[in-house]
């Protein structure tokens, strides 16, 4: 919706119409605040609007990857599969927007380019690419952790005679691969989800792999009527159990060490999580020390490598698909797949190791590595995102004294609680760096952040405080805490987008908070109970 008659002076201006923006709008309205959402796309959905590539689906089970704030919503919506596809998730988001009448306060096709804090008026002025200007007391950035695509940067791409596509900007009408020679670059989650479906349609698929990633089977299946009835009857208990797990996902955990059991028991447990318990992120919960103990982690890694070798018939291809020992299991985002490794048993699929034979250029006819040219009709780039900070840095955000957020964050993001950044008063980030966000069920983390931010705004207004600012001391302590907690784990050892490793020149900083959802929630509650310790309200 675009309506020039809508008010341009607001209590709360929200950027982004994904899960975070929609829920922030809902909560702001409930709090009696005037609010508006600005969204660059031509519909709501956030990452699920942009990511419509073949095979796109959530890697968190649908029953958890959904809003919990409204019990009637939980009961009326029925998921069809354990892991919902992108079209189904987008239908759910549309249902939420329509059910709660949110669209009237959402302005689509509106890209925010600049936001400047007025120190005298203690308000934000926000400009768009269309020349509009908005004024708001509070600015909430719900821009998403995975919303700015890493653009392909290959010599000669403009000369390619065929078509090329990026996973994060897929044509709405889809792509027909029938009879085409397709090159796929990128083997993270998007590439792993795409490859099996492209291979079914294409004449030939060539997968160009730089680094082998760990992928585990989703064991996806339809949700039958009885399973849905049981889930709906027990939703409060399910949500409560999930809230007390480290990543807010209702999965059975195991506190035992992988080192305290026999080899036979260890293998039984891994097999149970791989197949018997339903696959997916259960593998990370097989034992309690997989992400803090090198030896325990290597047991899990070797188990997955053994599965790859058993699935992929060609030994050479299997070895190329096995992650090297320097990649610890789960320290890069774990891929969750349906038939990925089996795809390499097809006669029309080739795996090319571009670490051994680097890509030199895109040619008119295809792609050339150091070992020769591959003739292609279509190139597909699954090269991921400028994660967690990309969407925030894409906006020229100016705080106190004209300080640019880009400048402040040039050595890595700095936040207090993952919610606020010192020097940028009255500005809040939903599921930002320094919070559990991408290491959790992000819908839960979004609800946690939005509820907390809304209560803070209400507190400020009820006490006639127009200015809410994070203290630099509190921010420094939080950044140090985030780093200290991360350093107790194996996560920082992964060459992942968690540390910005996929973006050339991006500072190597571990961005999410790994302390777990319950510990993080306790900290948020303590800060609020202590009069919003670490914030100056004036």
Order of all β-strands in the sheet with 366-369: 359-362, 366-369, 372-375
In this prediction, residue 2 carries a pLDDT of 53
In this prediction, residue 6 carries a pLDDT of 61
- Distance between CA atoms of residues 239 and 515, nearest Å: 20
Both tokens assigned to 497: 């987008």
In this prediction, residue 211 carries a pLDDT of 93
Helix (H) or strand (E) holding 482: helix 472-487
Q: Using the 8-state DSSP alphabet, how is residue 276 labeled?
A: I
C-alpha distances out from residue 195 to 100, 188, 319, 401, Å:
37, 11, 18, 49
Cβ atoms of residues 249 and 242 within 8 Å: yes
What is the arithmetic mean of pLDDT over 87-94?
Answer: 98
Q: What is the pLDDT of residues 491-509, one digit of tens each?
A: 988 877 687 767 777 777 7
- Distance between CA atoms of residues 124 and 355, nearest Å: 47
Give the closest residue to 438 by CA, choosing from 333, 285, 515, 339: 333
Q: What is the pLDDT of residues 25-68, one digit of tens each?
A: 999 999 999 999 999 999 999 999 999 999 999 999 999 999 99
Both tokens assigned to 492: 């920082």
- Tracing tokens 């290959």 back to the chain, one arrives at 154
Backbone angles phi, psi at 257, to 5 degrees: -80, 145
Question: Residue 42, exposed/middle/buried by CB under 10 A (0-12, 13-18, 19+)?
Answer: exposed
3-class DSSP state of 42: coil
Lowest mean pLDDT among 264-278, 401-415, 445-459: 264-278
In this prediction, residue 72 carries a pLDDT of 98
Q: How far apart are the first and last CA of the chain?
A: 36
What is the arithmetic mean of pLDDT over 452-474?
Answer: 97
pTM for the whole thing?
0.95
Q: In whole numbers, what is the pLDDT of the chain averaged over residues?
A: 94
How many CB atoms within 10 Å of residue 197? 18
- Distance between CA atoms of residues 305 and 302, nearest Å: 5
Q: What is the pLDDT of residues 5-22, one digit of tens each?
A: 565 899 999 999 999 999
Q: Tell me which of 412 and 378 has the higher pLDDT.
A: 378
Q: What is the pLDDT of residues 505-532, one digit of tens each?
A: 777 778 899 999 999 999 999 999 999 9
- Distance between CA atoms of residues 11 and 34, nearest Å: 5
- Spacing of C-alpha 62 from chain mean position: 15
How many Cα neighbours within 13 Å face the side chain of 467? 14
Torsion of CA 106, 107, 108, 112, to 10 degrees: -120
In this prediction, residue 81 carries a pLDDT of 95
How many CB atoms within 10 Å of residue 316? 10
Residues in Cβ contact with 241 at an 8 Å cutoff, skipping those fewer than 6 apart: 250
- Distance between CA atoms of residues 184 and 206, nearest Å: 6
Q: Is the pLDDT of residue 382 over 80?
A: yes
- Distance between CA atoms of residues 283 and 269, nearest Å: 9
Q: What is the pLDDT of residues 292-319, one digit of tens each?
A: 999 999 999 999 999 999 999 999 999 9
Q: What is the pLDDT of residues 113-161, one digit of tens each?
A: 999 999 999 999 999 999 999 999 999 999 997 777 777 889 999 999 9
Percent over 90 (pLDDT), the chain: 88
């Amino acid at each position: 919706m675009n309506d020039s008659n809508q008010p341009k002076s607001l209590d709360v201006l929200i950027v982004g119409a994904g899960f975070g923006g929609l829920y922030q709008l809902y909560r702001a309205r409930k709090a009696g605040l005037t609010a508006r959402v600005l969204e660059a796309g031509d519909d709501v959905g956030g990452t699920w609007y942009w990511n419509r590539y073949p095979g796109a689906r959530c890697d968190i089970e649908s029953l958890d990857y959904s809003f919990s704030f409204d019990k009637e919503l939980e009961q009326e919506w029925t998921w069809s599969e354990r892991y919902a596809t992108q079209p189904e998730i987008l239908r759910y988001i549309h249902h939420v927007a329509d059910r709660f009448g949110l669209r009237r306060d959402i302005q689509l096709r509106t890209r925010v380019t600049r936001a400047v804090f007025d120190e005298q008026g203690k308000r934000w002025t926000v400009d768009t690419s269309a020349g509009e200007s908005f004024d708001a007391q509070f600015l909430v950035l719900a821009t998403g952790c995975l919303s700015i695509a890493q653009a392909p940067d290959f010599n000669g791409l403009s000369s390619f005679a065929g078509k090329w596509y990026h996973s994060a900007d897929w044509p709405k009408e889809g792509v027909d691969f029938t009879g085409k020679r397709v090159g796929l670059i990128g083997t993270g989650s998007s590439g792993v989800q795409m490859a099996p479906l492209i291979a079914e349609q294409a004449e030939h698929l060539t997968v160009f792999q730089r680094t082998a990633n760990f992928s585990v089977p989703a064991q996806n299946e339809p949700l039958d009527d009885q399973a849905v009835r049981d889930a709906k009857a027990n939703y409060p208990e399910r949500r409560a159990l999930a809230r007390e797990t480290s990543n807010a996902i209702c999965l059975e955990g195991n506190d035992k060490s992988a080192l305290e059991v026999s080899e036979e028991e260890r293998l039984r447990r891994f097999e149970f999580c791989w197949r018997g318990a339903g696959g997916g992120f259960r593998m990370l919960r097989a034992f309690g020390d997989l992400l803090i103990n090198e030896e325990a982690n290597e047991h899990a890694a070797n188990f997955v490598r053994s599965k790859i070798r058993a699935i992929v018939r060609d030994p050479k291809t299997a070895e190329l698909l096995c992650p090297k020992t320097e990649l610890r299991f789960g320290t890069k985002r774990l891929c969750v797949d349906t038939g990925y490794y089996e795809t390499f048993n097809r006669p029309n699929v080739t795996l090319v190791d571009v670490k051994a034979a680097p890509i030199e250029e895109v040619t008119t006819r295809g792609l050339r590595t150091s070992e020769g040219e591959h003739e292609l009709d279509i190139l597909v780039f699954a090269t991921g995102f400028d994660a967690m900070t990309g969407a925030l840095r894409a906006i020229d955000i100016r705080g106190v004294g004209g300080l640019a957020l880009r400048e402040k964050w040039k050595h890595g993001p700095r936040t207090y609680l993952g919610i606020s950044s010192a020097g940028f008063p009255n500005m809040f980030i939903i599921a930002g760096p320094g919070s559990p966000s991408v290491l959790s069920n992000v819908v839960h983390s979004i609800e946690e952040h939005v509820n907390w931010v809304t209560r803070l705004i209400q507190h400020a207004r009820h006490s006639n405080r127009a200015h809410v600012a994070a203290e630099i001391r509190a921010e420094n302590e939080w950044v140090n805490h985030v780093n200290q907690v991360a350093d107790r784990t194996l996560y920082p050892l992964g060459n992942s987008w968690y540390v910005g490793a996929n973006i050339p020149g991006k500072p190597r900083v571990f961005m999410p908070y790994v302390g777990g959802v319950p510990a993080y929630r306790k900290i948020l509650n303590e800060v609020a109970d202590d009069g919003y310790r670490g914030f100056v309200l004036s």
